[in-house]
Amino acid sequence: MDSLKIIGTSHIAKQSIDEITRTFKSYDPDIVCVELDPKRLHALMTDAKPDYSLAGIKRYGLQGYLFAVIGGFIQKKLGNVVGTKPGSDMLTAVNLSRINKKQLMLVDQDIEITLKRFSKEFTFKDKMRLLWDIIKSPFGKKIKINLNEVPKEKIIEQMIGQIRERYPSLYGVLIQERNVVMAKNINKIKEKNPDKKILVIIGAGHEKDLLKLIQLEGFKRDKVY
């Protein structure tokens, strides 16, 4: 698809920033799509501190709130290790689109919907598996990852496969459902802009399945969750 190019990124790897910058220059897109929603874009652009007040429990549910708090903490710590801020890949794409006066499109599901879905769907069985896996993790086989680089496709597939097998409810909400939403949004953008080049910046864990959905004949773009 010459009119569509997808870059799968790591949200903390400098390699992703370099690849986005290089591809933007060579591809010269008309439209830039990013794995963000308005709330997350605002947080990135203003460098706003996460709101971890207890009011979040009411908005997202307890599980969604805890996921946001713990996930944000882990990403920040990993970012400190490699010297980048979480979301630097998306922020790079946003800034390049604005500097070069390209159209910016946010294609991800609203973060509050995702967190509410997580609170509703994350099953007791998956919670127990996750707790057990955390307890036994120091003694298990580890996947070696260079935080400065985007993981290789084989490693990504291995990690996604483990999540899908071990925690199907988590996989369904955080990956599968969002892939459907993003594919639907990207296809709508393609249909409305048939003669324009579109650059899509998403997390590497979404790339392969998202591309399949975009290309799938008969994909129901009106499918929502």
Q: How far apart are CA 114 and CA 145, in angstroms?
A: 27
94 within 8 A of 45, measured Cβ to Cβ = yes
- % the chain with pLDDT above 70: 75
Q: Residue 223: inside a domain, yes or no?
A: no
> Domains in the chain: how many in total?
1
Query: What sign does the dihedral 136-137-139-140 (CA atoms) show?
Result: positive
Q: Residue 162: inside a domain, yes or no?
A: yes
- Its pTM stands at 0.80
Q: Residue 225: inside a domain, yes or no?
A: no
Q: Per residue in 77-132, pLDDT tens?
A: 444 544 567 789 999 999 999 999 999 999 999 998 998 898 888 888 888 887 77
pLDDT surpassing 90 at residue 196? yes
pLDDT surpassing 60 at residue 222? no
Q: Residue 220: inside a domain, yes or no?
A: no
Give the DSSP H or E segment for 106. strand 103-106
Q: Residue 64: inside a domain, yes or no?
A: yes
For 108, the domain range is 4-215
Contacts of 200 (CB under 8 A, 6+ apart): 4, 5, 6, 7, 33, 34, 107, 186
Rounded to whole angstroms, what are the CA distances from 215 to 58, 159, 187, 211?
38, 24, 9, 6
Q: Residue 62: inside a domain, yes or no?
A: yes
Contacts of 216 (CB under 8 A, 6+ apart): none
